[in-house]
Amino acid sequence: MRKLGMATAHRMAMLRNMVTSLIYHERIMTTTPRAKELRRVAEKMVTHAKKANQHHRRLARAFVREEAAVVKLFGILGPRYEDRDGGYTRIMKLGKKRQGDSADMSYIEFVDREGEMRVSKPAQSPEKIAKLAAEAAEAAQKQLQAEATAKAVVDSVANAMSGGMLGGAKFDFRRSKELEQAALSKARLERKEKKKRLLDEAKKE
């Protein structure tokens, strides 16, 4: 955690005030280092609200200064991010610095709300995630079968040559091992490319 040039008590008091204001207004402007520290605290408060049991309500109430903010946290923000696994806030840096000390300024805001400065990417539905997982599993299974087939071919050729079935030609075990490793490496590379392609398609969608 950044010290921000403050004593611990001063820094925690500032973060408590800022997270309370962020819950109320859902967007505030502050310096970039403070926004980065506030993001950690704000996302932890949302995690408490998503779990929504008595223990996490007490933890949130111990940090958030006002009871009305706690009510909004558990009544509005928690249900809003029920299907989102992290990434509840966004930091957007401003182009100009603060007058006086030239500090870098930023907006920090909650995502998926009315009037947000930039529309967030929607969380993927469980059906979409299940479909992508099934496609990835199918691709991995095909690659494993291809690896097994390549290894079986190399082994059969090696056995044939070592047994004199190919005209008594001298068999090079080192060359056979190199061919086997090349076949396996090619299969692994194809599997990685397939997985990367599936992930890219998921991001585009």
pLDDT tens, residue by residue, 11-53: 999 999 999 999 999 999 999 999 999 999 999 999 999 998 9
State how far the Cα of 136 lies from the Cα of 199, in Å rounded to an integer.
Answer: 9
Per-chain mean pLDDT for the chain: 81
Domain end (from 59, 80, 110) = 110
Look at residue 138 and tell me whether its pLDDT is greater than 60.
yes
Domain end (from 79, 110, 141) = 110
Q: Are residues 161 and 69 in the same domain?
A: no
Domain end (from 80, 110, 140) = 110
Inside any domain, residue 2: no
Mean pLDDT of 175-204: 71
CA-based diameter of the chain, in Å? 89
How many domains does the chain fold into? 2
State how far the Cα of 42 lies from the Cα of 26, in Å rounded to an integer.
Answer: 10
| DSSP assignment string, 100-167 | TT---EEEEEESSSTT-SSPPPPPPPHHHHHHHHHHHHHHHHHHHHHHHHHHHHHHHHHHHHHTTTTT
CA-only gyration radius of the chain, Å: 28
Q: What length is written for the chain?
A: 205
Q: Are residues 77 and 156 in the same domain?
A: no
pTM given for the model: 0.58
Inside any domain, residue 130: yes
Inside any domain, residue 95: yes
pLDDT at 130: 75
Look at residue 168 and tell me whether its pLDDT is greater than 50.
no
Inside any domain, residue 115: no
Inside any domain, residue 119: no
Most confident of 1-10, 28-37, 192-201: 28-37
Q: Are residues 60 and 105 in the same domain?
A: yes
Inside any domain, residue 1: no
Inside any domain, residue 120: no
Mean pLDDT of 70-90: 91
Inside any domain, residue 117: no
Q: Domain limits at 157?
A: 126-204
Q: Are residues 105 and 135 in the same domain?
A: no
Residue 96 is part of a domain; what is its CATH number?
Answer: 3.90.1030.10
Which residue do the tokens 């990367």 mark?
196
